Amino acid sequence: MAKNITVIGSLNLDIHIPVEHIPTQGETLGLLRASTQAAGGKGANQAVAAARLGAQVHFIGATGNDAAGRMLISKCKAEGIDVSAISALDGKNTGQAFIILEPDGHNTIMVEGGANKLVSNAAIETAADKIRQSDIVIAQLETNFEPIIATFKIAKEAGVPTILNPAPANKPVPDELLQLTDIVTPNETEAATLTGHKAVTGADFAAITTAFQTKSIPNTLITLGSKGVYYNVAAQTGVVAAHKVARPVDTTAAGDTFIGAMAAVLNKDLSNVKAAIDFANAASSLTIQRAGAMDSIPTKAEVDALLF
């Protein structure tokens, strides 16, 4: 049976800027090729990943009542996502992400939040029943904290597991939100920012896990890029290897694909976490072999073909 997933998060117009290298201060740099625009935002990417990989998805967010916002909502609807809790706000700009893309597939991203920062608690109340009916609720940090906290409170009261993808981790996360989180899913950099511990060795992973447990988060999962994923979830711990890719094209949506894919197959009691991580790793390996964010996310048939 398909999982019911609620995602509260961002919708951005992604502007891809291909360069030979990251420019230094004062340097003028020509583009390798023309810049392009595409649908994105961490929330929207994760919602699309979950939908393409078999889940029924309900999305909570906000755009401007502008061409970019209408395009993003239309893209989500086309994926079968319930967009009834996405607000189109008059006089506000849809969020934008400027993605500097290097030839090796690595990227540097700057985000202008726009309407993403204006999701209201009233919007959460209208979505309360669907939150309660979810198998998993997912959030990131490209929106304001208050509606995430309100969403997680409703989920926790209903016994629905919550996943916090703490990206971008560039400001303190309220303890109230951490205490409502069942699984935290930083990458190496985010884990170091949030806990003060680097994420290199097994001892480092244990220290990060302990730091999050001190903040009342029972389960930790750290994405390690080509080195795989460390997890300490539901009394299970280990590292699940990444699926090898000879030459990455664009890593922009790899982490978002991972989160959405894992949620699409993760049991509510978290009992199949290792298998869910392997499935998500496979999905991410396909994403990074394609250009773009949302458009690079694979379907369940493509992931199944890789695994089976």
Instruction: Give the annotated binding-site residues.
Output: 12-14, 41-45, 142, 187, 223-228, 250, 252, 255-256, 281, 287, 290, 292, 296
| HEC secondary structure over 41-104 | CHHHHHHHHHHHCCCEEEEEEEEECCHHHHHHHHHHHHCCCEEEEEEEECCCCCEEEEEEECCC
Three-state DSSP at 138 gives: strand
Binding residues for substrate: 12-14, 41-45, 142, 256
Q: What is the spatial distance between Cα 58 and Cα 41, in angstroms, rounded to a whole number?
A: 16
Q: What is the spatial distance between Cα 218 and Cα 184, in angstroms, rounded to a whole number?
A: 9
Catalytic residue among 82, 135, 182, 256: 256
Tokens in use for 224? 């390690």
Residue with tokens 């869910």: 276
Cβ atoms of residues 85 and 63 within 8 Å: no
Q: What is the spatial distance between Cα 227 and Cα 42, in angstroms, rounded to a whole number?
A: 22
Binding residues for ATP: 187, 223-228, 255-256, 281
Binding residues for K(+): 250, 252, 287, 290, 292, 296
Q: What is the spatial distance between Cα 175 and Cα 255, in angstroms, rounded to a whole number?
A: 24
Exposed (0-12), middle (13-18) or buried (19+): which is 245, by Cβ within 10 Å?
middle
Instruction: Answer yes or no: 256 catalytic.
Output: yes
Is the CA virtual torsion 39, 87, 115, 51 positive or negative?
Answer: negative
Cβ atoms of residues 155 and 181 within 8 Å: no
Phi, psi (deg, nearest 5) at residue 294? -55, -40
Cβ atoms of residues 151 and 87 within 8 Å: no
CB atoms within 10 A of CB 219: 22
Q: What residues act catalytically?
A: 256
